[in-house]
């Protein structure tokens, strides 16, 4: 008797392929296109995805045998979860597997930004030894605003504990988590008091472009801004204007509104080049949750969730 099929549409740790291979025929196609997915999904019992392909109603309607969808990592915005569940398809994700990687990356970017590490390094490469111009700002004693207190937001707060900061955490869907240096706060309190603001939210209609003109105009402390969540949470043109106006002291971005650089318009190219020329901006290519440990961790967490281990 032939085994049921699992279709894997993205790169994943070999551990997961080996485990699935014990129960399924694994169809590992990390470069599969959306059109190819529509043609192939009909025979699959399980589907493993990341953020590369949209799993919409058209895909789900073709998936006549599909029982479950496994999302490596966090964020389900590319999956029509409600429609999948209406068809009896279970959806699971694995944010626990990479939350520490995201938190460490955010902390690293913040310390690099506050201490001008990248800027001063590139200046030394150019033969410049500028000490006064690269005088750092200490994190100790600052107020850090965390927007979104789920897996990554709470882990980031945990890593901040040794620095003696006050954490103001805003999450409209979580309550009763305040403890010690971590305080529950409103968005307005973060805008008023925070020296650092870090986004850890999913992309929803509520969070899309939540960091816009109105958000930046309400800031009172000229904070450093971090985004390791989703690019469309921040309106990049508005962030540029906030940086130019001095409303934001610096920005560290692991995500962009459009991460497919080959598709950029002239305006998008110009905006990215502007950010890249700023000494108080750091951009990394969506790697915060992609450490070696997280790559394996996401696979193991997802397998455990899918098969209730």
What single string gives the DSSP state of each residue in 12-23? --HHHHHHHHTT
Q: Do residues 91 and 59 make contact, with C-beta atoms less than 8 angstroms apart?
A: no
> Please, what is the average pLDDT of the chain?
96
Domain identity same for 88 and 131: no
Can you give the pLDDT at residue 251? Answer: 98
Q: Tens of pLDDT along 86-95?
A: 999 999 999 9
**Exposure string (b/e) for 193-231, b if CB count within 10 Å is 16 or more?**
ebbbbbbbbbbeeebeebbbeebbeebebebbbbbbbbb
Domain identity same for 156 and 80: no
CATH number, domain at 258? 3.40.50.720
Domain identity same for 87 and 140: no
* 48 C-beta neighbours (distance < 10 Å), count: 27
Domain identity same for 133 and 79: no
Can you give the pLDDT at residue 1? Answer: 64
| Structural domain span for residue 69 | 5-95+292-306
Among 130, 259, 269, 293, the active-site one is 259
Q: Tens of pLDDT along 193-210?
A: 999 999 999 999 999 999
Q: Tens of pLDDT along 141-161?
A: 999 999 999 999 999 999 999
The alpha carbon of residue 88 and the mean position of all alpha carbons in its chain are separated, in whole angstroms, by: 28
Q: Tens of pLDDT along 10-32?
A: 999 999 999 999 999 999 999 99
Domain identity same for 240 and 119: yes
Residue 309, pLDDT above cutoff 70? no
Q: Tens of pLDDT along 47-82?
A: 999 988 999 999 999 999 999 999 999 888 899 999
Domain identity same for 112 and 235: yes
Q: How many domains does the chain have?
A: 2
CA nearest neighbour of 194 among 237, 255, 147, 233: 147
Can you give the pLDDT at residue 52? Answer: 87
Domain identity same for 75 and 107: no
Pairing of strands 90-93, 182-184: unpaired
Can you give the pLDDT at residue 290? Answer: 94
* 149 C-beta neighbours (distance < 10 Å), count: 24
pLDDT band at 224; cut points 50, 70, 90: very high
Among 52, 54, 213, 286, the active-site one is 286
Can you give the pLDDT at residue 106? Answer: 98
Domain identity same for 16 and 162: no
Domain identity same for 144 and 256: yes
CA angle 253, 156, 229 (to 5 degrees): 35
259 catalytic, yes or no? yes
CA nearest neighbour of 299 among 92, 99, 72: 72
Token readout for 247 is: 């409303």
Residue 172, pLDDT above cutoff 70? yes
Burial of 309 (0-12, 13-18, 19+ CB in 10 A): exposed
Looking up tokens 């493993």 gives 48
Q: Do residues 156 and 102 make contact, with C-beta atoms less than 8 angstroms apart?
A: yes
Residues with Cβ within 8 Å of 76's Cβ and at least 6 positions away in sequence, in order, are 91, 93, 202
Residue 117, pLDDT above cutoff 90? yes
286 catalytic, yes or no? yes
208 catalytic, yes or no? no
Question: 112 or 51: which carries more pLDDT confidence?
Answer: 112
Can you give the pLDDT at residue 2? Answer: 82
Domain identity same for 248 and 119: yes
Domain identity same for 105 and 232: yes
Question: Going edge to edge, which strands form the sheet with 196-199?
Answer: 182-184, 166-170, 143-147, 196-199, 224-227, 250-253, 281-283
Among 230, 235, 238, 249, the active-site one is 230
The three-class DSSP label of residue 127 is coil
Question: For a pLDDT cut of 70, what percent of the chain falls above it?
Answer: 99
Domain identity same for 259 and 246: yes
Per DSSP, helices labelled H in the chain are: 14-21, 34-40, 57-62, 81-86, 99-114, 117-125, 151-160, 187-193, 213-217, 236-244, 266-276, 292-306
């Amino acid at each position: 008797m032939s085994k049921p099929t699992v279709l894997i549409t993205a790169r994943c740790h070999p551990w997961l392929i080996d485990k699935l291979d014990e129960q399924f025929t694994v169809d590992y196609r990390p470069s599969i296109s959306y059109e190819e997915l529509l043609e192939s999904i009909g025979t699959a019992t399980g589907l493993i995805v990341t953020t590369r392909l949209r799993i919409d109603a058209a895909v789900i309607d073709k998936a006549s045998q599909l029982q479950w969808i496994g999302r490596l990592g966090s964020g389900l915005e590319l999956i029509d979860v409600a429609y999948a569940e209406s068809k009896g398809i279970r959806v699971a994700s694995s944010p626990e597997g990479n939350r520490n990687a995201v938190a460490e990356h955010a902390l690293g970017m913040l310390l690099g930004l506050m201490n001008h590490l990248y800027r001063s390094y590139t200046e030394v490469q150019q033969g410049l030894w500028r000490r006064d111009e690269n005088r750092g700002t200490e994190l100790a004693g600052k107020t850090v605003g965390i927007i979104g207190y789920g897996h990554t937001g709470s882990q980031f707060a945990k890593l901040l504990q040794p620095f003696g900061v006050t954490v103001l955490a805003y999450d409209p869907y979580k309550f009763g988590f305040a403890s010690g240096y971590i305080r529950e706060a409103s968005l307005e309190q973060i805008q008023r008091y925070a020296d650092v603001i870090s986004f850890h939210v999913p992309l929803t209609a509520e969070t899309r472009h939540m960091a816009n003109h109105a958000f930046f105009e309400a800031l009172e402390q000229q904070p450093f801004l971090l985004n390791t969540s989703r690019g469309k949470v921040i309106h990049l043109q508005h962030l540029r204007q906030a940086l130019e106006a001095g409303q934001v002291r610096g920005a560290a971005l692991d995500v962009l509104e459009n991460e497919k650089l080959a598709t950029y318009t002239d305006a998008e190219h110009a905006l990215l080049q502007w950010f890249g020329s700023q000494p108080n901006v750091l951009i990394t290519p969506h790697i915060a949750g992609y450490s070696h440990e997280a790559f394996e961790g996401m696979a193991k967490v997802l397998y455990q969730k899918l098969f209730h281990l």
